[in-house]
Amino acid sequence: MRASFLAGYVTTQPALDGLLYLQKYRIIEKIDAITALAALAHETRLDIFRLLVQAGPEGVPAGQLGEQLSLPSATLSFHLKELRHAGLITFRRESRSLIYSAEFANVNGLLVYLTENCCRGDAASCGVGICDGTKLEKPKQRRTI
C-alpha cells in the first residue's frame, strides 16, 4: 500500500484504487454536466441564466430579474433554485436583497468538459476560446416544416 493524494484526501489505498477513483470522478463530472445542461434546457431558466451572464459578476437583484422577465416570485424562486442546484448561479445577500450572478468558474468548467477532446485533443486549432463569444458563429436557423 502507498499513500495517494486524490482530490485533497490522503488515502492508503493501492494505486489501482486511485484509478478507480478517477474513473468514478469522471462519472461525477458527467452527471454534473447533465444536470447543468438539463437546467438550461428550460426556456425560462435559459432566459434567467443569459441575463445573469450579461450582468457579469455584479449580478442582478432577484426582484429585478422577476420584473425583467415578468415572472411571479414563486416561479422565479423555483427556477433560481434549479439553476443554483446545477451550480450555474450563485447569490449573495446585500441588506434585504438577494443578488444573483452566474457562477462563471462552473460555466467555464462545463465548457471545458464539453470540449475537452475537441479537434482531436488540440482545441487551439479550433480557434474558439473558452467563453469567447466573439469567435463563435451564430447557428443557422433551423427549417421547420
Name the grid cell of 116.
Answer: 475537452
In a domain, 76, yes or no: no
Task: List 98's β-bridge partners, or say none.
Answer: 93
Whole-Å CA distances, 138 to 40, 134, 141? 18, 10, 9
Tally of domains in the chain: 2
Say how far apart CA 90 and CA 103 lie, in whole Å: 6
List per-residue pLDDT tens for the chain, 145 residues long. 333 333 443 444 445 565 565 555 555 688 999 999 999 999 999 999 999 999 999 999 999 999 999 999 999 999 999 999 999 999 999 999 999 999 998 898 888 888 777 777 666 676 655 554 444 444 455 555 5
Say how far apart CA 95 and CA 71 lie, in whole Å: 23
In a domain, 121, yes or no: yes
Q: In degrees rounded to 5, what are phi and psi of residue 79?
A: -70, -35
In a domain, 28, yes or no: yes
In a domain, 66, yes or no: no
pLDDT for residue 115:
78
Which of 43, 46, 44 has the alpha carbon at shortest distance from 54?
46
In a domain, 119, yes or no: yes
In a domain, 48, yes or no: no
In a domain, 70, yes or no: no
Say how far apart CA 72 and CA 76 lie, in whole Å: 6
Range of the domain at 122: 106-135
